[in-house]
Structure 1
Amino acid sequence: MRTDRVPLLWLSGPTGVGKSSLGWEIFDRLGRGGVKAAFVDADQISLCHPEPEGGTHRVRARNLAALWPGFLREGMRCLVLAGFVDTPEEVREYTELLPGAAFTVCRLRVPSEELRERFLGRGWRPDLVEAAVAEAAAQEGSRYADLCVDTGGRTVAEAAQLVLGRLGAAFGTAAPAPGRVPVVQGGGVAAAGRARVPLLWFSGATASGKSTVGYEVFSRIHRSGVRAAYVDLRQIAALRPSSADEGRRLKARGLAALWAGYRADGAAYLVVSGEADSDETVRAYARLLPDLAPTVFRLHASPATLLERVLLRGRGGGPATPGDELRGLGRDALRTVAARAAREAAALDRAGAGDLRVDTDDRPPPELAAQVLSHLGLPTGT
């Protein structure tokens, strides 16, 4: 491996094989070992629909390259990428935009029956399981990867150990400390006379429903035929070990970098889910996004609802996201998290944070999305 480039481990394979879970485990292990590592889930950096011309890989490659300088500025020494790819030509779309990365593409595989079990165990779109199995069979003849690792019959921890063993001890430590890295300035000053794009920002305490409601609103907008982009701030700033200040810088610069590309693709809305503990927080982001007009929706839930949702996430319920800190925690620890979330919600309420409070108790995401869109004067959709 050349030591003048930053190592990038790319985990690929069919839907349901465990790319994101394994990627996060490897990232977490590296961070706990003192290696400053970053993690990116490719699905999370291509949420712009209807899909722009050029396809998903063009968007993902461009956005990965846009996030790269921010990670380097904070001292990243390696990056773990989880995302599907199918051909050498698709791989080149990424490598051509990141000459400073030393790519190792690892294809994951499991036996067909185990893939079925994993896919169905996720509880999401069981109607797609056979398509996933067929996709896995087609990948058996592929030639895009540098190595193939069979993770069948192994836990995530065991699979991580296997992959790291195949990479060798040098992975994550071979890159020199990065030199001067250009600052990502975002989209620049809004052009005179150019209409500002609506930014719909969903904030609130832990388990208030930020990501779920934000994604539902994004889905309704793009299903109406209007191009929109979605960014979950937690998913674009995974860097360990890191400080709170580093995390905030990564989120702000990353959002600005992603938006520049989405704006060029013609996105007419940007939907964001993430922390907005004060109006000043939003203003700090807005300074990097001068062509956006923000509206902050503060989601609120009662202590009882927050506890119920936190316990559900602890049991593995709800949407699966890489690095969910609640999954697998004991009941006492989850109750502590829920109590902290309730205090956070109360503080946001006292401060009157956001432009509109949206109560989420006993209300499904489609109903909440309809309320938000109605407030904006937009069709509520389905």
Structure 2
Amino acid sequence: MDVLRLAGVPGVGKSAVAWAVAERLASDGVPTGYVDIDQLGMCYPAPSDDPDRWALKETALARLAVRFRDAGVERLVVSGVADPSQPPPASGFPTSSLWLDADEETRRRRLAPRRWEREQVDAALAAGTEEASTAHPAWQRLDTAHSTIEETVQAVIARPAGGAEVASDVVFPEEHATARVIWITGPRCAGASRVGWELARRQWVAGERTGFVDVAQLSFSWNADAVNGAEAAAVVQTVFAEVGAKALIVVAPFEVSPKDVRAAFPRPDVRFFRLDADDRTRRGHAVRRAEGADGASLAGDDLYGASADAIERIIATGARQRASSLRIGEILIGTPMSSTQPVVDEVAKRAGLSALPH
């Protein structure tokens, strides 16, 4: 397996380009995987010796890459930020490391859909210009400002990977296991992602070192065996536990069963929460998501920009999921349309998060 690494400052198009590259490789029949490294570092408060969590994310990526290799992936596409002052990190696999560039005007235009405040955009642009000007010369540079995504994709795929694969395997040290795993799922559009994120933020504000992962973002693969999402989450959990995380909050697709989760997390105390919402509430969530008004767009998001017909198909899928029986260990919690906070508080109470040591 080789790794295609795309980095750069906000607004250069790294996520859009990386996803398009993965889709192109997949359509060509290449066994392909995709991961956004930013999804591997959501553990706060950050370690004092790794305040930007560079080492945390790189460690998680190196371990997770083994899972993709074992699934038969031949090319793993990785997008996300990287430390600009350092040479491209080694992942243990032959790697093509590209730093994408774009001028400030282009980046401002590309950042517009994120609906940031003007001050936030200006700050990101200024910081990005500084980072790009000092990026380590070992990165291969690729300007995206005057190219279509299709042209950029072609240029990226043409870059050869360098280096050799280093024999490695995922290690699960017995002494490293978070005290608790809070697994949140539910039918489509019931609000699991929103509740999980707000629960994680609650812990971070309280100063409790806690990890957060979205299972769907850890297991994209095409033309290869499926990457086990629960096992991928367990890989990231060991990394977070090694820096002192006391809990891991996981949001996951309904299809991942508690049985698979228990197999992946044999040691931690796992609490399963299944959210529930009626069709009207879930449709409201779906419409807001389609309009881009309900959180950031993530890789593989089939709701972002979805048509009315597509939304109805997704709601129908959720209705079938909702009608299924509770699985062993699941705690059912209703999610009203009006407010997420009562649900967050209820999950926190039932998960016993307040009892975790400081």
TM-score (norm 2): 0.87
- 2:182–2:351 Cα contact (<8 Å) kept: no
Number of paired residues?
A: 351
Instruction: Report the residue type matching 2:279 in the other structure.
Output: P
Q: State the alpha-carbon separation in 1 of the partners of residues 260 and 156 from structure 2.
A: 43
**Could you tell me whether the CA contact under 8 Å between 1:187 and 1:256 is conserved in 2?**
no
* Contact 1:300–1:357 under 8 Å retained in 2: yes
Q: Does structure 1 residue 61 correspond to structure 2 residue 89?
A: no
Post-superposition shift, 1:337? Answer: 1.5
Corresponding residue to 2:7 among 6, 12, 20? 12
Match of 2:347 among 326, 348, 372: 372
Counterpart in 2 of 1:76? 73
Contact kept, 8 Å, 2:6 with 2:78, in 1: the verdict is: yes
Alignment-derived partner of residue 303 in structure 2: 326
- 8 Å CA contact 1:32–1:241 kept in 2: the answer is no
Correspondence 1:85 to 2:82: yes
User: Is 2:145 the partner of 1:152?
Assistant: yes
Q: Deviations over 1:118-153 (max 9, x none)?
A: 223211454321121112221342342533223226
- Distance in 2, Cα, partners of 1:211 & 1:82: 21
- 1:200 is displaced (CA, Å) by 0.7
> Gaps spanning 5+ residues in structure 2: where?
none
- Check 1:206–1:259 CA distance in 2 against 1; reply closer, same or farther (3 A cut): same
Q: Where in structure 1 do 4 or more consecutive aligned residues deviate above 6 Å?
A: none
| Aligned positions of 1:89-100 closer than 5 A | 89=86, 91=88, 94-95=89-90, 98-100=91-93
Tell me if the contact between 2:186 and 2:275 (Cα under 8 Å) persists in the aligned partners: yes
Aligned to 2:134, the other structure's residue is in SS state coil
| Cα distance between partner residues in 2 of 1:201 and 1:313 | 22
Compared with structure 1, are the counterparts of its residues 242 and 300 closer, same or farther at alpha carbon in structure 2 (3 Å cutoff)?
Answer: farther
| Equivalent position SS for 1:152 | coil
Pair 1:115 & 2:107 matched = yes
Instruction: Give the SS at the match of 2:122.
Output: helix
Counterpart position of 1:3? none
Partners of 1:284 and 1:295 in 2: CA distance: 14
RMSD: 2.9
- Asked if residue 133 in structure 1 is aligned to residue 111 in structure 2, the reply is no
* One of 230, 234, 249 as aligned partner of 1:252: 230
1:222 corresponds to which of 189, 204, 209: 204
Determine if the alignment matches structure 1 residue 43 to structure 2 residue 38. yes
Question: 1:286 corresponds to which letter in structure 2?
Answer: R
Question: CA separation in 2, counterparts of 1:260 and 1:368?
Answer: 28
Distance 1:127 1:375, change over 3 A: farther
Whole-angstrom distance in 2 between the partners of 1:229 and 1:42 = 14
Q: Please give the alpha-carbon distance, in whole angstroms, between the structure 2 residues aligned to 1:254 and 1:277.
A: 15
CA distance, structure 1, for counterparts of residue 198 and residue 290 of structure 2: 22
Q: Gaps (5+ residues) in structure 1? A: 1-5
Query: Is the Cα contact below 8 Å between 2:271 and 2:351 reproduced in 1?
Result: no
- Alpha carbons 1:298, 1:353 under 8 Å: kept: no
Opposite residue 114 of structure 2, the aligned amino acid is: R
CA deviations 1:231-252 (Å, max 9, x no partner) are: 1111111111345xx23x2x13
- 2:222 maps to amino acid: R
Q: Partners in 2 of 1:236 and 1:166 — Cα distance?
A: 22
Report the Cα distance in structure 2 between the residues aligned to 1:175 and 1:330, rounded to whole angstroms: 44
TM-score, reference length from structure 1: 0.82
| Partner deviation per Cα, 1:22-48 (whole Å, 9 max, x = no partner) | 211111111111111111111100111
In 1, the alpha carbon distance for the partners of 2:220 and 2:330 equals 28
Shift of 1:229: 0.7
